[in-house]
Chain A
Amino acid sequence: MPLVLDEALPLLPRLRRHARLLCGDHARADDLLQDTLERAARKGALFHAEAGPMRQDALRNWLLTLMHRLYLNQRRDAREALHDSLDEDDAPQPAIEEPQQRVALRLDLERALAALPAASREILLLVCVEELSYQDAARVLDVPVGTVMSRLSRARERLRLSMDGAAPGRPPLRVVK
Protein backbone atom coordinates (compact mmCIF):
# COMPACT_ATOMS: atom_id res chain seq x y z
CA MET A 1 0.00 0.00 0.00
CA PRO A 2 1.73 3.15 -1.17
CA LEU A 3 2.20 6.29 0.84
CA VAL A 4 -0.54 8.85 0.88
CA LEU A 5 1.23 12.03 1.84
CA ASP A 6 -1.66 13.29 3.91
CA GLU A 7 -1.07 10.37 6.24
CA ALA A 8 2.01 12.18 7.47
CA LEU A 9 0.14 15.34 8.47
CA PRO A 10 -0.83 14.20 12.00
CA LEU A 11 2.82 13.33 12.62
CA LEU A 12 4.16 16.78 11.85
CA PRO A 13 3.89 18.40 15.32
CA ARG A 14 5.77 15.47 16.84
CA LEU A 15 8.41 15.46 14.13
CA ARG A 16 8.79 19.18 14.55
CA ARG A 17 9.43 18.87 18.25
CA HIS A 18 11.86 16.06 17.55
CA ALA A 19 13.75 18.23 15.07
CA ARG A 20 13.85 21.15 17.50
CA LEU A 21 15.22 19.07 20.34
CA LEU A 22 17.69 17.52 17.94
CA CYS A 23 18.97 20.78 16.46
CA GLY A 24 18.51 22.98 19.50
CA ASP A 25 17.47 25.79 17.17
CA HIS A 26 14.03 26.46 15.77
CA ALA A 27 15.02 27.76 12.36
CA ARG A 28 17.47 24.94 11.68
CA ALA A 29 14.91 22.46 12.92
CA ASP A 30 12.30 23.67 10.47
CA ASP A 31 14.85 23.50 7.66
CA LEU A 32 15.66 19.93 8.63
CA LEU A 33 12.00 18.99 8.76
CA GLN A 34 11.34 20.65 5.44
CA ASP A 35 14.18 18.73 3.80
CA THR A 36 12.88 15.56 5.38
CA LEU A 37 9.37 16.06 4.06
CA GLU A 38 10.56 16.99 0.59
CA ARG A 39 12.61 13.86 0.49
CA ALA A 40 9.63 11.86 1.71
CA ALA A 41 7.47 13.35 -1.04
CA ARG A 42 10.03 12.32 -3.65
CA LYS A 43 10.67 8.88 -2.24
CA GLY A 44 7.12 8.08 -1.23
CA ALA A 45 7.12 5.06 -3.51
CA LEU A 46 9.83 3.50 -1.34
CA PHE A 47 7.63 3.40 1.72
CA HIS A 48 5.88 0.09 2.20
CA ALA A 49 3.72 -0.87 5.12
CA GLU A 50 0.54 -2.86 5.59
CA ALA A 51 -2.63 -1.00 6.35
CA GLY A 52 -3.45 -1.30 10.03
CA PRO A 53 -2.48 -0.04 13.44
CA MET A 54 1.24 -0.43 12.80
CA ARG A 55 1.21 1.65 9.67
CA GLN A 56 1.39 4.99 11.42
CA ASP A 57 4.35 3.83 13.50
CA ALA A 58 6.08 2.53 10.41
CA LEU A 59 5.56 5.85 8.68
CA ARG A 60 6.90 7.74 11.67
CA ASN A 61 9.98 5.52 11.78
CA TRP A 62 10.55 5.99 8.09
CA LEU A 63 10.34 9.76 8.39
CA LEU A 64 12.65 9.69 11.40
CA THR A 65 15.10 7.63 9.37
CA LEU A 66 15.11 10.23 6.60
CA MET A 67 15.51 13.01 9.13
CA HIS A 68 18.40 11.42 10.98
CA ARG A 69 20.17 10.63 7.73
CA LEU A 70 19.92 14.26 6.69
CA TYR A 71 21.03 15.34 10.12
CA LEU A 72 24.06 13.07 9.85
CA ASN A 73 24.88 14.51 6.43
CA GLN A 74 24.71 18.01 7.83
CA ARG A 75 27.11 17.12 10.57
CA ARG A 76 29.43 15.49 8.08
CA ASP A 77 29.37 18.53 5.85
CA ALA A 78 30.14 20.68 8.82
CA ARG A 79 33.07 18.53 9.72
CA GLU A 80 35.69 18.58 7.06
CA ALA A 81 37.70 15.66 8.27
CA LEU A 82 35.02 13.06 7.86
CA HIS A 83 37.51 10.24 7.43
CA ASP A 84 39.09 11.05 10.74
CA SER A 85 36.15 9.88 12.71
CA LEU A 86 33.58 7.41 11.59
CA ASP A 87 32.50 6.92 15.18
CA GLU A 88 30.03 9.68 15.82
CA ASP A 89 30.73 9.55 19.51
CA ASP A 90 34.14 11.00 18.85
CA ALA A 91 32.64 14.12 17.38
CA PRO A 92 33.79 17.23 19.19
CA GLN A 93 31.32 18.14 21.83
CA PRO A 94 29.55 21.43 21.45
CA ALA A 95 30.82 23.89 24.02
CA ILE A 96 28.63 24.31 27.04
CA GLU A 97 28.07 27.91 27.94
CA GLU A 98 29.75 27.95 31.29
CA PRO A 99 29.87 31.15 33.29
CA GLN A 100 33.34 31.08 34.75
CA GLN A 101 32.39 32.11 38.25
CA ARG A 102 29.78 29.47 38.91
CA VAL A 103 31.51 26.21 39.52
CA ALA A 104 28.60 23.92 40.12
CA LEU A 105 26.44 24.85 37.22
CA ARG A 106 23.19 23.07 37.14
CA LEU A 107 21.99 22.97 33.63
CA ASP A 108 18.36 22.57 33.03
CA LEU A 109 17.38 19.54 31.02
CA GLU A 110 16.96 21.28 27.71
CA ARG A 111 20.35 22.89 27.78
CA ALA A 112 21.99 19.74 29.05
CA LEU A 113 20.46 17.84 26.18
CA ALA A 114 21.64 20.44 23.68
CA ALA A 115 25.15 20.24 25.07
CA LEU A 116 25.45 16.47 24.55
CA PRO A 117 27.28 15.03 21.57
CA ALA A 118 24.88 14.61 18.68
CA ALA A 119 24.95 10.82 18.84
CA SER A 120 23.92 10.90 22.50
CA ARG A 121 21.13 13.35 21.85
CA GLU A 122 19.83 11.28 18.96
CA ILE A 123 19.59 8.09 20.92
CA LEU A 124 17.94 9.69 23.96
CA LEU A 125 15.33 11.38 21.79
CA LEU A 126 14.53 8.23 19.85
CA VAL A 127 14.35 5.89 22.83
CA CYS A 128 13.05 8.12 25.62
CA VAL A 129 10.96 10.74 23.84
CA GLU A 130 9.71 8.88 20.77
CA GLU A 131 9.75 5.59 22.68
CA LEU A 132 11.13 3.54 19.85
CA SER A 133 12.22 -0.01 20.49
CA TYR A 134 15.97 -0.61 20.38
CA GLN A 135 15.52 -2.43 17.09
CA ASP A 136 13.64 0.47 15.53
CA ALA A 137 16.16 2.98 16.84
CA ALA A 138 18.94 0.86 15.32
CA ARG A 139 17.14 0.92 11.98
CA VAL A 140 16.56 4.66 12.11
CA LEU A 141 20.22 5.33 12.87
CA ASP A 142 21.46 2.54 10.63
CA VAL A 143 23.65 1.05 13.34
CA PRO A 144 23.67 -2.35 15.09
CA VAL A 145 21.49 -2.81 18.17
CA GLY A 146 24.66 -3.22 20.23
CA THR A 147 25.68 0.29 19.24
CA VAL A 148 22.29 1.60 20.27
CA MET A 149 22.80 0.00 23.68
CA SER A 150 26.29 1.39 24.20
CA ARG A 151 25.34 4.86 23.01
CA LEU A 152 22.29 4.87 25.23
CA SER A 153 24.28 3.86 28.25
CA ARG A 154 26.89 6.57 27.59
CA ALA A 155 24.23 9.19 26.84
CA ARG A 156 22.42 8.54 30.10
CA GLU A 157 25.60 8.87 32.06
CA ARG A 158 26.60 12.06 30.29
CA LEU A 159 23.22 13.63 30.80
CA ARG A 160 23.21 12.67 34.46
CA LEU A 161 26.64 14.20 34.97
CA SER A 162 25.76 17.46 33.31
CA MET A 163 22.51 17.67 35.26
CA ASP A 164 24.43 17.08 38.47
CA GLY A 165 26.57 20.05 37.65
CA ALA A 166 29.72 18.09 37.02
CA ALA A 167 31.44 18.91 33.78
CA PRO A 168 30.97 16.09 31.33
CA GLY A 169 34.14 14.05 31.37
CA ARG A 170 36.35 13.33 28.47
CA PRO A 171 34.75 10.95 26.06
CA PRO A 172 35.54 7.38 27.08
CA LEU A 173 38.33 5.62 25.26
CA ARG A 174 37.16 4.33 21.97
CA VAL A 175 36.57 0.63 21.73
CA VAL A 176 38.39 -0.74 18.74
CA LYS A 177 36.18 -3.25 17.04
Chain B
Amino acid sequence: MTHDEIDIDDPTLHAYVDGQLPPERAAQVADWLLRHPRAAQQVLGWREQRDSLKALHRDWLDEPVPPSLTAALRPPAAKAPRWPRAWAAALLLAVGLGAGVAGGWGGHAWWTGKKEAAEMAAAAAASRAAGRDPSIPEYVRDAAIAHAVYQPEKRHPVEVGADQADHLIQWLSKRLGQPLYAPTLRDYGWKLVGGRLLPAGDDPSTGASPGASAGASARTSVGAALARAQFMYENEAGERFTLYVSTGASSPEAPVAFRLMQRVEGGQTTRSLFWIDGKLAYALSGNFDERRLRVLADLVHARIGMIARASSAPVAP
Protein backbone atom coordinates (compact mmCIF):
# COMPACT_ATOMS: atom_id res chain seq x y z
CA MET B 1 0.00 0.00 0.00
CA THR B 2 1.45 3.33 -0.98
CA HIS B 3 1.29 6.45 1.09
CA ASP B 4 -1.16 8.26 -1.13
CA GLU B 5 -3.75 5.49 -1.03
CA ILE B 6 -7.27 6.12 0.12
CA ASP B 7 -8.43 3.63 2.67
CA ILE B 8 -10.84 1.02 1.33
CA ASP B 9 -11.98 -1.42 3.95
CA ASP B 10 -13.86 -4.70 3.71
CA PRO B 11 -17.33 -3.30 4.44
CA THR B 12 -16.81 -0.80 1.64
CA LEU B 13 -15.91 -3.61 -0.74
CA HIS B 14 -19.03 -5.53 0.22
CA ALA B 15 -21.14 -2.43 -0.25
CA TYR B 16 -19.49 -1.96 -3.63
CA VAL B 17 -20.45 -5.47 -4.72
CA ASP B 18 -23.99 -4.99 -3.47
CA GLY B 19 -24.41 -1.68 -5.26
CA GLN B 20 -24.93 0.23 -2.03
CA LEU B 21 -22.35 2.96 -2.54
CA PRO B 22 -23.11 6.39 -3.94
CA PRO B 23 -21.79 6.66 -7.54
CA GLU B 24 -18.80 8.83 -6.63
CA ARG B 25 -17.62 6.45 -3.96
CA ALA B 26 -18.20 3.46 -6.24
CA ALA B 27 -16.01 5.06 -8.91
CA GLN B 28 -13.29 5.61 -6.32
CA VAL B 29 -13.43 1.96 -5.33
CA ALA B 30 -13.37 0.76 -8.93
CA ASP B 31 -10.31 2.87 -9.49
CA TRP B 32 -8.65 1.56 -6.38
CA LEU B 33 -9.38 -2.04 -7.38
CA LEU B 34 -7.46 -1.55 -10.63
CA ARG B 35 -4.35 -1.16 -8.53
CA HIS B 36 -5.15 -3.93 -6.07
CA PRO B 37 -5.49 -7.21 -7.94
CA ARG B 38 -5.87 -9.32 -4.82
CA ALA B 39 -8.83 -7.33 -3.57
CA ALA B 40 -10.19 -7.22 -7.10
CA GLN B 41 -10.07 -11.00 -7.24
CA GLN B 42 -12.05 -11.22 -4.04
CA VAL B 43 -14.60 -8.69 -5.25
CA LEU B 44 -14.99 -10.66 -8.44
CA GLY B 45 -15.67 -13.82 -6.45
CA TRP B 46 -18.31 -12.08 -4.35
CA ARG B 47 -19.94 -10.67 -7.43
CA GLU B 48 -20.10 -14.08 -9.10
CA GLN B 49 -21.58 -15.51 -5.95
CA ARG B 50 -24.16 -12.75 -5.81
CA ASP B 51 -25.14 -13.24 -9.46
CA SER B 52 -25.53 -16.97 -9.12
CA LEU B 53 -27.61 -16.59 -5.95
CA LYS B 54 -29.80 -14.08 -7.71
CA ALA B 55 -30.36 -16.52 -10.56
CA LEU B 56 -31.12 -19.39 -8.22
CA HIS B 57 -34.45 -21.00 -9.07
CA ARG B 58 -35.90 -18.30 -11.24
CA ASP B 59 -38.05 -21.15 -12.54
CA TRP B 60 -39.96 -21.21 -9.25
CA LEU B 61 -41.22 -17.71 -9.93
CA ASP B 62 -43.38 -19.05 -12.75
CA GLU B 63 -45.10 -21.70 -10.67
CA PRO B 64 -48.72 -20.97 -9.91
CA VAL B 65 -49.36 -20.10 -6.27
CA PRO B 66 -51.75 -22.59 -4.66
CA PRO B 67 -55.14 -21.19 -3.63
CA SER B 68 -54.56 -22.18 -0.01
CA LEU B 69 -51.84 -19.54 0.15
CA THR B 70 -53.81 -16.77 -1.49
CA ALA B 71 -56.71 -17.64 0.80
CA ALA B 72 -54.48 -17.01 3.80
CA LEU B 73 -54.47 -13.35 2.83
CA ARG B 74 -58.21 -12.98 3.31
CA PRO B 75 -59.12 -11.11 6.47
CA PRO B 76 -60.21 -13.48 9.23
CA ALA B 77 -63.66 -11.94 9.51
CA ALA B 78 -65.29 -14.94 11.13
CA LYS B 79 -62.59 -15.36 13.75
CA ALA B 80 -62.88 -13.85 17.19
CA PRO B 81 -60.85 -10.69 17.67
CA ARG B 82 -57.37 -11.41 18.93
CA TRP B 83 -56.01 -9.96 22.12
CA PRO B 84 -53.08 -7.72 21.50
CA ARG B 85 -51.05 -9.70 24.00
CA ALA B 86 -52.10 -13.17 23.08
CA TRP B 87 -49.78 -14.90 25.49
CA ALA B 88 -51.12 -12.94 28.44
CA ALA B 89 -54.66 -13.72 27.39
CA ALA B 90 -53.84 -17.40 27.12
CA LEU B 91 -52.33 -17.37 30.58
CA LEU B 92 -55.28 -15.54 32.05
CA LEU B 93 -57.68 -17.97 30.50
CA ALA B 94 -55.70 -20.93 31.78
CA VAL B 95 -55.62 -19.33 35.20
CA GLY B 96 -59.36 -18.85 35.14
CA LEU B 97 -60.01 -22.43 34.18
CA GLY B 98 -57.51 -23.77 36.68
CA ALA B 99 -59.13 -21.78 39.43
CA GLY B 100 -62.36 -23.58 38.74
CA VAL B 101 -60.92 -26.93 39.75
CA ALA B 102 -58.92 -25.59 42.67
CA GLY B 103 -60.51 -26.48 45.96
CA GLY B 104 -61.37 -23.44 47.98
CA TRP B 105 -60.09 -23.75 51.49
CA GLY B 106 -62.65 -22.34 53.83
CA GLY B 107 -64.62 -20.67 51.07
CA HIS B 108 -63.99 -17.08 50.36
CA ALA B 109 -66.25 -15.42 52.89
CA TRP B 110 -63.20 -14.13 54.67
CA TRP B 111 -62.15 -12.37 51.57
CA THR B 112 -65.46 -10.70 50.98
CA GLY B 113 -66.29 -8.34 53.76
CA LYS B 114 -70.05 -7.94 54.09
CA LYS B 115 -69.75 -4.21 53.72
CA GLU B 116 -68.40 -4.50 50.24
CA ALA B 117 -70.66 -7.36 49.26
CA ALA B 118 -72.60 -5.32 46.73
CA GLU B 119 -69.46 -3.91 45.14
CA MET B 120 -67.88 -7.31 45.02
CA ALA B 121 -70.96 -8.84 43.44
CA ALA B 122 -70.76 -6.34 40.63
CA ALA B 123 -67.05 -6.94 40.18
CA ALA B 124 -67.68 -10.69 40.30
CA ALA B 125 -70.25 -10.47 37.56
CA ALA B 126 -67.77 -8.56 35.43
CA SER B 127 -65.08 -11.12 36.15
CA ARG B 128 -67.35 -13.97 35.27
CA ALA B 129 -68.21 -12.24 32.04
CA ALA B 130 -64.48 -12.15 31.33
CA GLY B 131 -64.24 -15.86 32.03
CA ARG B 132 -62.47 -15.58 35.37
CA ASP B 133 -63.18 -16.96 38.77
CA PRO B 134 -64.15 -13.93 40.88
CA SER B 135 -63.09 -15.60 44.10
CA ILE B 136 -59.47 -15.44 42.98
CA PRO B 137 -58.06 -11.97 43.51
CA GLU B 138 -56.52 -10.38 40.43
CA TYR B 139 -53.12 -10.11 42.03
CA VAL B 140 -52.89 -13.90 42.30
CA ARG B 141 -53.38 -14.22 38.57
CA ASP B 142 -50.73 -11.56 38.05
CA ALA B 143 -48.47 -13.51 40.39
CA ALA B 144 -48.98 -16.72 38.42
CA ILE B 145 -48.19 -14.95 35.19
CA ALA B 146 -45.10 -13.30 36.65
CA HIS B 147 -44.00 -16.69 37.93
CA ALA B 148 -44.52 -18.33 34.54
CA VAL B 149 -42.60 -15.57 32.82
CA TYR B 150 -39.59 -15.23 35.09
CA GLN B 151 -39.16 -18.65 36.67
CA PRO B 152 -37.61 -20.27 33.52
CA GLU B 153 -35.36 -17.28 32.87
CA LYS B 154 -31.70 -18.22 33.00
CA ARG B 155 -29.98 -14.95 32.28
CA HIS B 156 -32.20 -12.37 33.89
CA PRO B 157 -34.37 -14.10 36.47
CA VAL B 158 -34.33 -11.04 38.71
CA GLU B 159 -33.80 -7.33 38.42
CA VAL B 160 -31.66 -6.99 41.54
CA GLY B 161 -29.68 -9.94 42.78
CA ALA B 162 -29.45 -11.29 46.31
CA ASP B 163 -25.92 -9.93 46.53
CA GLN B 164 -27.64 -6.57 47.02
CA ALA B 165 -30.37 -7.94 49.24
CA ASP B 166 -30.47 -4.94 51.58
CA HIS B 167 -30.78 -2.51 48.74
CA LEU B 168 -33.38 -4.71 47.04
CA ILE B 169 -35.63 -4.87 50.09
CA GLN B 170 -35.26 -1.17 50.84
CA TRP B 171 -36.05 -0.25 47.30
CA LEU B 172 -39.10 -2.48 46.95
CA SER B 173 -40.39 -1.43 50.37
CA LYS B 174 -40.16 2.16 49.29
CA ARG B 175 -41.94 1.51 46.01
CA LEU B 176 -44.74 -0.49 47.62
CA GLY B 177 -45.02 1.93 50.53
CA GLN B 178 -44.84 -0.91 53.07
CA PRO B 179 -41.96 -2.61 54.82
CA LEU B 180 -41.27 -5.86 52.95
CA TYR B 181 -39.29 -8.84 54.10
CA ALA B 182 -37.61 -11.55 52.10
CA PRO B 183 -37.08 -14.26 54.69
CA THR B 184 -33.93 -16.35 54.80
CA LEU B 185 -34.70 -19.97 54.02
CA ARG B 186 -31.18 -21.30 53.74
CA ASP B 187 -31.76 -23.84 56.44
CA TYR B 188 -34.43 -25.36 54.24
CA GLY B 189 -32.17 -25.40 51.21
CA TRP B 190 -33.59 -22.32 49.50
CA LYS B 191 -31.55 -19.28 48.69
CA LEU B 192 -32.81 -15.92 47.58
CA VAL B 193 -31.99 -15.25 43.91
CA GLY B 194 -33.21 -11.67 44.05
CA GLY B 195 -36.30 -9.73 43.17
CA ARG B 196 -37.97 -7.33 40.85
CA LEU B 197 -40.50 -4.54 40.78
CA LEU B 198 -43.60 -5.29 38.73
CA PRO B 199 -46.60 -3.23 37.68
CA ALA B 200 -50.06 -4.14 38.94
CA GLY B 201 -52.62 -5.34 36.45
CA ASP B 202 -55.23 -2.85 35.39
CA ASP B 203 -58.25 -4.67 36.77
CA PRO B 204 -60.35 -2.40 38.98
CA SER B 205 -61.29 -5.25 41.31
CA THR B 206 -57.65 -5.73 42.21
CA GLY B 207 -58.40 -4.50 45.66
CA ALA B 208 -56.99 -1.06 45.19
CA SER B 209 -60.63 -0.03 44.95
CA PRO B 210 -61.59 2.87 47.20
CA GLY B 211 -64.10 0.77 49.12
CA ALA B 212 -61.55 -1.55 50.62
CA SER B 213 -60.77 -0.87 54.24
CA ALA B 214 -61.31 2.86 54.34
CA GLY B 215 -58.93 4.68 56.63
CA ALA B 216 -56.72 1.72 57.24
CA SER B 217 -55.93 1.50 53.56
CA ALA B 218 -52.53 0.12 52.76
CA ARG B 219 -52.12 2.61 49.99
CA THR B 220 -49.83 5.43 50.82
CA SER B 221 -49.84 6.78 47.32
CA VAL B 222 -51.18 5.97 43.90
CA GLY B 223 -47.74 4.77 42.83
CA ALA B 224 -47.51 2.34 45.73
CA ALA B 225 -50.90 0.82 44.85
CA LEU B 226 -49.63 0.09 41.36
CA ALA B 227 -46.35 -1.45 42.42
CA ARG B 228 -45.83 -5.14 43.11
CA ALA B 229 -42.76 -7.04 44.20
CA GLN B 230 -41.56 -10.48 43.24
CA PHE B 231 -38.88 -12.37 45.12
CA MET B 232 -37.37 -15.50 43.66
CA TYR B 233 -35.83 -18.42 45.54
CA GLU B 234 -33.88 -21.34 44.19
CA ASN B 235 -32.63 -24.61 45.65
CA GLU B 236 -29.62 -26.79 44.84
CA ALA B 237 -31.63 -28.76 42.30
CA GLY B 238 -32.38 -25.55 40.41
CA GLU B 239 -36.06 -25.54 41.36
CA ARG B 240 -37.56 -22.15 41.91
CA PHE B 241 -40.49 -20.58 43.62
CA THR B 242 -41.57 -16.96 43.62
CA LEU B 243 -43.10 -14.87 46.33
CA TYR B 244 -45.30 -12.11 44.99
CA VAL B 245 -46.32 -9.22 47.20
CA SER B 246 -49.17 -6.82 46.60
CA THR B 247 -50.49 -3.87 48.54
CA GLY B 248 -54.02 -2.58 48.51
CA ALA B 249 -55.68 -5.98 48.30
CA SER B 250 -55.72 -6.25 52.06
CA SER B 251 -58.09 -5.37 54.75
CA PRO B 252 -57.08 -5.27 58.40
CA GLU B 253 -59.79 -7.61 59.60
CA ALA B 254 -59.11 -10.28 56.99
CA PRO B 255 -57.78 -13.36 58.73
CA VAL B 256 -54.79 -15.16 57.45
CA ALA B 257 -55.83 -18.06 55.30
CA PHE B 258 -54.16 -20.00 52.61
CA ARG B 259 -55.95 -20.64 49.40
CA LEU B 260 -54.78 -22.52 46.38
CA MET B 261 -54.99 -21.72 42.74
CA GLN B 262 -53.47 -23.86 40.05
CA ARG B 263 -53.09 -23.75 36.37
CA VAL B 264 -51.81 -26.28 33.88
CA GLU B 265 -49.86 -25.26 30.86
CA GLY B 266 -47.90 -27.49 28.54
CA GLY B 267 -48.04 -30.37 31.01
CA GLN B 268 -46.59 -28.23 33.77
CA THR B 269 -48.73 -27.27 36.71
CA THR B 270 -48.08 -24.02 38.47
CA ARG B 271 -49.71 -23.75 41.85
CA SER B 272 -50.09 -20.56 43.82
CA LEU B 273 -50.92 -20.35 47.49
CA PHE B 274 -52.13 -16.95 48.49
CA TRP B 275 -52.89 -15.24 51.75
CA ILE B 276 -53.24 -11.89 53.39
CA ASP B 277 -51.09 -10.75 56.22
CA GLY B 278 -51.70 -7.33 57.65
CA LYS B 279 -51.52 -4.76 54.92
CA LEU B 280 -49.93 -7.03 52.39
CA ALA B 281 -51.24 -9.79 50.20
CA TYR B 282 -48.93 -12.62 49.20
CA ALA B 283 -48.91 -15.29 46.56
CA LEU B 284 -46.33 -18.06 46.57
CA SER B 285 -46.05 -19.83 43.23
CA GLY B 286 -44.13 -22.92 42.26
CA ASN B 287 -44.23 -25.95 40.05
CA PHE B 288 -44.51 -28.37 42.98
CA ASP B 289 -47.24 -30.39 44.54
CA GLU B 290 -49.61 -28.79 46.96
CA ARG B 291 -48.06 -30.32 50.05
CA ARG B 292 -44.58 -28.93 49.36
CA LEU B 293 -46.03 -25.60 48.47
CA ARG B 294 -47.98 -25.58 51.69
CA VAL B 295 -44.86 -26.27 53.72
CA LEU B 296 -43.06 -23.43 51.99
CA ALA B 297 -45.96 -21.04 52.42
CA ASP B 298 -46.21 -21.86 56.12
CA LEU B 299 -42.52 -21.31 56.48
CA VAL B 300 -42.48 -18.05 54.57
CA HIS B 301 -45.50 -16.77 56.42
CA ALA B 302 -44.04 -17.65 59.80
CA ARG B 303 -40.67 -16.10 59.04
CA ILE B 304 -42.15 -12.89 57.71
CA GLY B 305 -44.20 -12.65 60.89
CA MET B 306 -41.09 -13.14 63.00
CA ILE B 307 -39.09 -10.52 61.16
CA ALA B 308 -41.99 -8.09 61.19
CA ARG B 309 -42.49 -8.47 64.93
CA ALA B 310 -38.81 -8.17 65.60
CA SER B 311 -38.45 -4.99 63.59
CA SER B 312 -41.58 -3.31 64.95
CA ALA B 313 -40.92 -4.28 68.58
CA PRO B 314 -40.28 -1.27 70.82
CA VAL B 315 -36.69 -0.79 71.75
CA ALA B 316 -36.01 -2.27 75.16
CA PRO B 317 -35.45 0.38 77.79
Binding site for B on A (CB under 8 A): 5-6, 8-9, 12-14, 16-17, 20-21, 30, 33-34, 37-38, 40-42, 44, 83-84, 109-110, 113, 124-125, 127-129, 131, 133-134, 149, 152-153, 156, 159-160, 163
Partner of A156, one of B20, B46, B65: B46
Is the beta-carbon distance between A133 and B69 smaller than 8 angstroms? Answer: no
Q: Is B35 an interface residue (CB 8 A)?
A: no
Is the beta-carbon distance between A113 and B53 smaller than 8 angstroms? Answer: yes
Beyond A30-B68, A83-B154, A149-B14, list 14 extra A-B contacts (CB 8 Å).
Answer: A5-B73, A12-B70, A33-B72, A38-B72, A40-B73, A42-B75, A109-B52, A109-B56, A125-B53, A127-B18, A129-B56, A133-B20, A160-B45, A160-B49
Q: Is B25 an interface residue (CB 8 A)?
A: no
Residues on the B chain within 8 Å of A124, using CB: 53
A173 to B70, CA, bound (A): 44
Q: Is B5 an interface residue (CB 8 A)?
A: no
Q: Is B4 an interface residue (CB 8 A)?
A: no
Q: Mark B141-179, 1 if CB is under 8 A from A, else 0.
A: 000000000000111000000000000000000000000
CB distance from B90 to the nearest CB of A (A): 15
Is the beta-carbon distance between A17 and B20 smaller than 8 angstroms? Answer: no
B154 (CB) vs chain A CBs: closest residue: A83
A33 to B66, CA, bound (A): 11
Task: Indicate whether A128 sits within 8 Å of B69 (C-beta atoms), given known contacts A5-B75, A17-B60.
Answer: no
CB distance from A54 to the nearest CB of B (A): 17
B47 (CB) vs chain A CBs: closest residue: A128
Task: Indicate whether A34 sits within 8 Å of B69 (C-beta atoms), given known contacts A5-B75, A21-B56, A134-B15.
Answer: yes
CB distance from B86 to the nearest CB of A (A): 10
Is the beta-carbon distance between A30 and B69 smaller than 8 angstroms? Answer: yes
B18 (CB) vs chain A CBs: closest residue: A127
Is the beta-carbon distance between A37 and B73 smaller than 8 angstroms? Answer: yes
CB distance from B247 to the nearest CB of A (A): 32
Closest 3 CB pairs of A and B: A37-B72, A83-B154, A128-B53
Is the beta-carbon distance between B76 and A83 smaller than 8 angstroms? Answer: no
Residues on the A chain within 8 Å of B49, using CB: 128, 156, 159-160, 163
Is the beta-carbon distance between A41 and B153 smaller than 8 angstroms? Answer: no
Partner of A38, one of B19, B76, B153: B76
Task: Indicate whether A128 sits within 8 Å of B61 (C-beta atoms), given known contacts A41-B73, A83-B155, A134-B20.
Answer: no
CB distance from B74 to the nearest CB of A (A): 6
CB distance from B75 to the nearest CB of A (A): 5
Is the beta-carbon distance between A16 and B69 smaller than 8 angstroms? Answer: yes
A21 to B57, CA, bound (A): 9
Is the beta-carbon distance between B69 and A131 smaller than 8 angstroms? Answer: no
Is the beta-carbon distance between A34 and B57 smaller than 8 angstroms? Answer: no
Q: Considering residues B45, B56, B62, B154, which has the most beta carbons from chain A within 10 angstroms of its beta carbon?
A: B56
Is the beta-carbon distance between B69 and A33 smaller than 8 angstroms? Answer: yes
Q: Is B82 an interface residue (CB 8 A)?
A: yes
Q: Is B63 an interface residue (CB 8 A)?
A: yes
A37 to B15, CA, bound (A): 31
Residues on the A chain within 8 Å of B74, using CB: 5, 41
Partner of A131, one of B52, B54, B73, B76: B54
A17 (CB) vs chain B CBs: closest residue: B60
Q: Is B236 an interface residue (CB 8 A)?
A: no
Is the beta-carbon distance between A128 and B76 smaller than 8 angstroms? Answer: no
A38 (CB) vs chain B CBs: closest residue: B72
Is the beta-carbon distance between B18 and A128 smaller than 8 angstroms? Answer: yes
CB distance from B302 to the nearest CB of A (A): 35
Scan residues 1-47 of chain B and give those whose CB is less than 8 A from a CB of chain A.
Answer: 10-11, 14-15, 18-20, 45-46
Residues on the A chain within 8 Å of B57, using CB: 17, 20-21, 110
Residues on the A chain within 8 Å of B69, using CB: 12, 16, 30, 33-34, 37
Residues on the B chain within 8 Å of A128, using CB: 18, 49-50, 53-54
A41 to B79, CA, bound (A): 12
